[in-house]
Amino acid sequence: MSRLAGIFSVDPSVITYRVGRMERMGYAQRTSGDADRFVTRATITPSGSSLLRRGRSTTLLRAREHFFAHVPAEDLSALTRLFTAVAEAGRPDPTRRLG
C-alpha cells in the first residue's frame, strides 16, 4: 500500500481509503504480507480488471475523438515523442518514501 502511495504521490491514508472503497465495490482485495504482518497488499479482482479494460478502451476512444482527430497525421510521431518525454520526466520514483 505504501508503494502505491509513492507511485501516486499521495499520503498512504488516501490509498487505504481508496482501496477500501474499491474493495467494498468488489474491484480490489487486501491481504496481509507473508512475512510481515504490517504489510498490506492490494490486488485487483477479476471484476476490477474487467472495469479497467472497459475504462481504458473508453478513454482511448474519447482521446481519439476529441484530440487526435484534430492532429495532422504527419505530426503524430512528434507528438508521441513529446508525450513520452513528458511522461518519463514526471514519473514518480516508487522507492521514494513520503513524509
Distance of alpha carbon 41 from alpha carbon 24, whole angstroms: 16
What does each C-alpha distance from 4 to 30, 40, 74, 75, 81 come to in angstroms?
A: 13, 11, 38, 35, 27
Domains of the chain with bracketed CATH: 2-90 (1.10.10.10)
- pLDDT at residue 27 in the model: 95
The per-residue b/e assignment along 63-98, b for 16 or more CB within 10 angstroms, e otherwise, is eeeeeeeeeeeeeeeeeeeeeeeeeeeeeeeeeeee
* Mean pLDDT value across the chain: 84
**Predicted confidence (pLDDT) at residue 39 exceeds the cutoff of 60:** yes
DSSP state of 98: P
pTM: predicted TM-score of the whole model, two decimal places: 0.54
Tens digits of residue pLDDT in 7-20: 888 898 999 999 99
Chain center to CA of 8? 8
Residue 94 Ramachandran class (φ > 0 left, ψ -120 to 50 alpha, else beta): alpha
On whether the CB atoms of residues 48 and 28 are closer than 8 A, the answer is: yes
